[in-house]
Amino acid sequence: MSDQLVCRYDMEMVAPECTPGASWWGVKIKIENDISEVFPYMNAELNEVDYNHSAKILVWNGDDGLKYAFRSNEIAVAPVEDRAGAQSMCDSIVGMVNDIWSRKVNIEPSIKGKAPPPSMLQLLKLLPKTNCKDCGCATCMAFAAELIKKQAELLGCPHLSQDAHAKNRESLLKLLE
Ligand code: SF4
Q: Does 89 share its domain with 161? A: no
Give the pLDDT band of residue 115 (cuts 50, 70, 90): low
Distances (CA, A) of 82 to 15, 27, 35, 42, 89: 11, 10, 26, 27, 10
Is residue 148 domain-resident? yes
Q: Is the CB of 157 under 6 A from ligand 1?
A: yes
Give the burial string for 107-139 (b: 16+ CB within 10 Å, else e). beebeebeeebbeeeebbebbbeeeeeebbbeb
Has residue 80 been placed in a domain? yes
Using the mean position of ligand 1's atoms as its centre, give its distance from the Cα of residue 11 in Å. Answer: 32
Same domain, 22 and 98: yes
Query: How remote is the CA of residue 78 from the centroid of ligand 1, in Å?
Result: 22
What are the residues whose beta carbons fall under 8 Å from the beta carbon of 113, sequence distance 6 or more? 43, 50, 51, 52, 53
Per the domain annotation, does 113 fall within a domain?
no
Ligand 1 lined by 161 (C-beta under 6 Å): no
In a domain, 114, yes or no: no
* Whether residues 87 and 21 fall in one domain: yes
| Interval 120-140: pLDDT, tens | 999 999 999 999 999 999 999
**The last residue of a domain, from among 106, 134, 168:** 106
Are 44 and 130 within one domain?
A: no
pLDDT value at position 60? Answer: 94
Chain segment 18-57, per-residue pLDDT in tens: 666 667 889 999 999 999 999 999 999 997 788 999 999 9
Residue from 17, 123, 126, 132 to probe ligand 1 pocket by mutation (most atoms less than 8 Å from CB): 132
In angstroms, what is the span from residue 136 Cα to ligand 1's centroid?
Answer: 8
**Kindly report the CA angle at 35 between 32 and 40, in degrees rounded to 5?**
175
CB of 127 closer than 6 angstroms to any ligand 1 atom: yes
67, part of any domain: yes
pLDDT tens digits, one per residue of 81-102:
888 889 999 999 999 999 999 9
Domain count, the chain: 2
Instruction: Fill in the amino acid letter for 6.
Output: V
Considering the domain architecture, whether residues 170 and 88 belong to the same structural domain is answered as: no
Last residue of a domain, one of 83, 106, 129: 106
In the prediction, which pLDDT does 127 show?
Answer: 97
Q: What is the CATH number of the domain that holds 23?
A: 3.30.310
22 assigned to some structural domain: yes
Residues 144-152, mean pLDDT to the nearest whole number: 92
Residue 2 lies in a domain: no
pLDDT of the residue at 37: 97
Q: Are 134 and 159 in contact (CB under 8 A)?
A: yes
Domain that holds residue 45: 9-106
Q: What is the CATH number of the domain that holds 125?
A: 1.10.15.40
Look up the pTM and report it. 0.60
Asked if residue 102 and residue 124 are part of one domain, the reply reads: no
| Residue 119 in contact with ligand 1 by CB distance below 6 A | no
Looking at the domain assignment, is residue 115 inside a domain?
no
